[in-house]
Structure 1
Amino acid sequence: MSPMSPVNPVTTTAPARRGLSDFYENPSVPVASGTARSVRQARMLAAALGPATTDGPKTVLDVGCGDGTAAATAAPFLAGHRIVGVDWSQDALRRARTRLPYPVRGELTDGGLPFASAVADAVLFSEVIEHLVDPDAALDEIRRVLRPGGHLMLSTPNLAAWYNRALLLAGVQPVFSEVSLRAIHGRPGREVVGHLRLYTARALREFVAASGFEVVGLRGAPFHGVPRPLRPLDRLACAVPSAASILLLHARRT
């Protein structure tokens, strides 16, 4: 859930960069998301990769690994494959080292990931894209490190989640959206997590396809922050991904 490159070093001024850097290095800022989402995404990736073979393990990069929770959740489903966690935040990497054998620092800028081109078989990109100033550059860099036909497993909150549709009709700021890095204003919730962009299912499909990927499928996942009485309804909404809390997109590099 941690962002990889929260600023564009070419166009963003130094004061803004320092402010965002301080925000994402703050240990109190959440860097992991719900287990249900992680498990569903891991199962999708395991089905795409298949079991490890005698040809050797396949390489999975967890780009924006945060504290390593998502990769650790995925590991039992990816037995025999190699998972490498990558993050921009030094604080997140410090925590990830307790869960991952290969945490490394990298950024989602041109050449910012510390890997040669076409070396990865798959990239996990969990709850990251909504934090980025330049998501176009991020997908370009992910495409660079993926081999042709390699898998992208992307998850992000859904702007058009079932409850957000009702909130907008009532004139309330949608869940997941944020107008400040200091406090919550005008919407339900208590945590500020630094969301800069939000996607609908249609927008996400079109954006990823325009970035040089073939969209294989889109599924929904529940959100751990939904109030307990509404969680059964949130799970039911996953049957219609365009209305689900979380979007899980599977794409392949063309």
Structure 2
Amino acid sequence: MSDHHPAPAVGPGNAPAGAADGLVLTGERTLPGIADENYWFQRHVVAYELAVASLTGGEVVLDAGCGEGYGLAMLAGAGAARVVGVDLDPTVVAHARTAYAATHPAVEVHAAELLALPLADDAIDLTVSFQVVEHLYDIPGYLRSLRRVTRPGATVMIATPNRLTFTSGSDVPVNPFHTREFTAAELHDELTDAGLEVQRLLGVHAGAWLTSIEVAAGRPLPDLLAATDPARWPHWLRRTVHAVTPAAFAVHGDDLDASLDLVAVCRVPG
């Protein structure tokens, strides 16, 4: 759902006209198909790839806060029998229905509050909610809602930016769309308090290629991107952003406090 940075300036390859079906970059979400947005977009795709890898076929999957909907297509393409996307924004829902539900029979998209999911209890085999929790005001209620619709023994996956690297040195989120950001320990405690069993807590890190670029540049890539209008990026930076794929990131459970994003894999007890 969310983007990781304030609303971007319009620059080459980053104009609102390039946004999917009239959706415009605001800083609240990331979108596919926009070259100068590619670094952030691929960071989001990493979590969906983890979810896809967990599917064996035939599952009912919920994407709570599905945003533009690219993740719905990934989950359906991995063999899920039914993929339910839910988002509050009716413009986004209309786009996701046209772009993905119309071409993927397994996909359906609903406009609804995440605290009032239009699903029966225990209806879901896998729930994913990526880059969503940091936007919400009633986080315990949201987690209770996810737990309600996910069957006992099934998995809930949550991804969110790591506060220690995204809003370093401050408890106030730099992104105006974020209400609360988490450290790994804080996320673990929040999920546990909601009655979820945290089985794995992973971090998304820059891989070897991105790390080598950051060492040469003398600062992390997200800092460089946030500090400069895309229209004024040097050619090497633009080439780097355009070339990023999910393989440019490393996902593991070590050194979580230094990670870019956190991914929690939880089990619904019972």
After TM superposition, the structure 1 = structure 2 runs for residues 96-245 of structure 1, keeping only pairs within 5 Å, are 96-97=96-97, 98-100=99-101, 101-109=107-115, 112-161=116-165, 164-165=167-168, 168=169, 177-178=173-174, 194-222=177-205, 225=222, 227=224, 235=249, 239-245=254-260
Q: Give matches, 1:76-115, under 5 Å.
A: 76=77, 78-97=78-97, 98-100=99-101, 101-109=107-115, 112-115=116-119
Q: Paired residue for 1:252?
A: 267
5 Å-filtered alignment, 1:32-51, equals 32=30, 34-49=40-55, 51=56
Query: For structure 1, which runs of at least 5 residues remain unmatched after alignment?
Result: 4-25, 179-191
* Amino acid corresponding to residue 158 of structure 2 in structure 1: L
Q: Give the Cα separation in 1 of the matches to 2:249 and 2:108.
A: 33
199-208 or 67-76: bigger deviation: 67-76
* Alignment TM-score, normalising by the size of structure 2: 0.65
Contact 1:36 1:222 in 2 (8 A): no
Q: Deviations along 1:9-57, whole A, 9 cap, x unmatched?
A: xxxxxxxxxxxxxxxxx854342373433443233323433x22xxxx2
Identity %: 28
What is the alpha-carbon distance in structure 2 between the residues aligned to residue 240 and residue 135 of structure 1?
Answer: 25
How far the C-alpha of 1:103 sits from its partner, in A, is 0.8
**Measured at CA, do residues 132 and 80 of structure 1 come closer, stay the same or move farther in structure 2, by a change above 3 Å?**
closer
- Whether the 8 Å CA contact 1:147–1:253 is kept in 2: the answer is yes
How far has the Cα of 1:2 moved from its partner? Answer: 5.2
In the TM superposition, residue 193 of structure 1 has moved relative to its aligned partner by: 5.4
What secondary structure, in the 3-state scheme, does the structure 1 residue paired with 2:66 have?
coil
Which stretches in structure 2 are left out of the alignment for 5+ residues? 4-22, 32-39, 102-106, 207-220, 226-236
Q: Secondary structure at the match of 1:202?
A: helix
- Measure how far apart 1:64 and its partner are: 0.3
2:9 is matched with which residue?
none
Question: Is the CA contact (8 Å cut-off) linking 1:39 and 1:73 kept in structure 2?
Answer: no
CA distance 1:139–1:80, shift in 2 (3 Å) = closer
CA contact (8 A) 2:69 2:100 kept: yes
> For the structure 1 residues 105 and 240, does the alpha-carbon distance in structure 2 shift closer, same or farther, using more than 3 Å as the test?
same
SS in 2 for 1:177: coil
Counting only pairs closer than 5 Å after superposition, residues 20-39 of structure 1 correspond to structure 2 as 27-29=24-26, 30-32=28-30, 34-39=40-45
- Write the distance in 2 (CA, Å) between the matches of 1:160 and 1:28: 25
Report how far residue 156 of structure 1 moved.
0.5
1:80 shift after superposition: 4.0
AA in 2 matched with 1:88:
L
TM-score, L = length of structure 1 = 0.69
Q: Matched residues in 1 for 2:223 and 2:81: separation?
A: 33
Cα deviation, 1:64-89, whole Å, max 9, x if unaligned, reads 0011123334443x224321111111
Q: In structure 1, what residue type is equivalent to 2:125?
A: D
Q: How many residues align?
A: 202
Residues 235 and 88 of structure 1: CA distance in aligned 2, closer, same or farther (over 3 Å): same
Question: By how many angstroms is 1:225 displaced?
Answer: 4.3
